[in-house]
Amino acid sequence: MSRRQPRPRGALNHALHRAYDALLPHRRHDPARLEESRPVNTDRSTGQPPPVASLQPPSGTSPMDPESARTALLPYVTLIARHQVQLSVSPPLQRDIRTQRRLNDALGFDQVLAAVQPLSDTLPDLPHAVGELTAQLKISREEAATAKHLLVPVQLRVESLETLLNKSTAELNGLQAEIKRLKSANVHIGSLLEKSKESMDVQTENRRLAMNYAEQKQDIIDALDKQIKKEREVFKTTVSANTENTRKLHDLLLKATQGTWVDSGTAALVADLKDRNLHLLRTNRALRGFVNFAGMDPNTLALAIQGLRAAEVDLSTLDLDQDTFLALPRFQQEAGDQEDPFALC
């Protein structure tokens, strides 16, 4: 069989085919007997080498002695058996690219066997090694079962911790959301505080200005109080003097009108004074229509009462309201009982 012709699949069948070609080299290039030179069983289901009888030469050639055939095939069968065992122990050749490549490039059976990894010398101790490995595997399984039994509470604890972790994570997320909300609220409150501070600064400035204005007004009020007190003293002095002069003039006029020695000129002067007095009374009546004596200052009211006493004015002619009309006689009586006409109770 040439290298370009299809070869049987499988490492063992390939090796057998190479061995057959080595035993019968004269039939490799005989096309007429090509079909007769294919005794190799390519069935991969059995994995067994072909029988020795199939290696006998076809009719028309000299027969081969079975002993000589066994002697010739014994080294190859031994190598083939070792190769079969090696294939059962070693990893498949499909994963060993280099070995597969050398095996495909081999031309003779010796090269085929040389391309395959030689059998390990420890193969006879394989059952013992397998027994030890089996014992170790059993021990490992027992240890694994023990570790698994010990791992159950740890697993339960891990699950509990995972549940607690999930719960803590949820709480942490809630707290982070709350912190974020509080930060936003804090920023908002901070802005409100800044606005309040600005408003307080404005209010403080307004309060300072108001206090300055109040102090200025207080100074003005104090000055006005002093002016009022001064004017009151002047009023007291003026009214007191005028009241006394009016009383003396009134007495003089009464005596003059009652006497017989008054001439016509004096009588005319007295009549003119009476007209003026009547005019003053009407003016006084008009003024008292707008002024309530009950609300007047006591000092001013005392001076008014003193003037009324000096002029001996009839209160009924003043057209006063009822409260003022009742208050004036009492003040007039109380002022008349005092030696000092300005003393009022």
| 344 has a pLDDT exceeding 50 | no
Q: Which residue has the higher pLDDT, 120 or 146?
A: 146
Query: Rounded mean pLDDT of 14-39?
Result: 51
Query: Rounded mean pLDDT of 60-85?
Result: 65
DSSP 8-state code for residue 93 = T
The span from the CA of 274 to the CA of 276, in Å, is: 5
Q: In sequence order, what are the residues at sequence separation of 6 or more whose Cβ sits closer than 8 angstroms to the Cβ of residue 70? A: 52
Maximum Cα interatomic distance, the chain, rounded to a whole number of Å: 218
The span from the CA of 189 to the CA of 187, in Å, is: 5
pLDDT for the residue numbered 261: 60
Q: Residue for token digits 């505080």?
A: 193
| Average pLDDT value over all residues in the chain | 68
Q: Per mean pLDDT, which of 45-49, 216-220, 282-286, 309-313 is the most reliable?
A: 216-220
Lowest mean pLDDT among 20-29, 52-61, 204-213, 287-296: 52-61
Q: Quick check: 11 and 83 in contact, CB under 8 A?
A: yes
**Position 149: which residue type?**
H
The span from the CA of 7 to the CA of 9, in Å, is: 6
Q: What is the pLDDT of residues 81-95, one digit of tens each?
A: 556 645 554 555 555
At residue 32 the predicted structure's pLDDT band, cuts being 50, 70 and 90, is very low
Q: In terms of C-beta distances under 8 Å and separation of at least 24 residues, what long-range contacts does 48-55 make, across chains too?
A: 49/12, 49/16, 49/77, 49/80, 50/16, 55/20, 55/23, 55/24
The span from the CA of 14 to the CA of 29, in Å, is: 18
**Position 195: which residue type?**
K
Q: Quick check: 9 and 66 in contact, CB under 8 A?
A: no
Q: Which residue has the higher pLDDT, 231 or 309?
A: 231
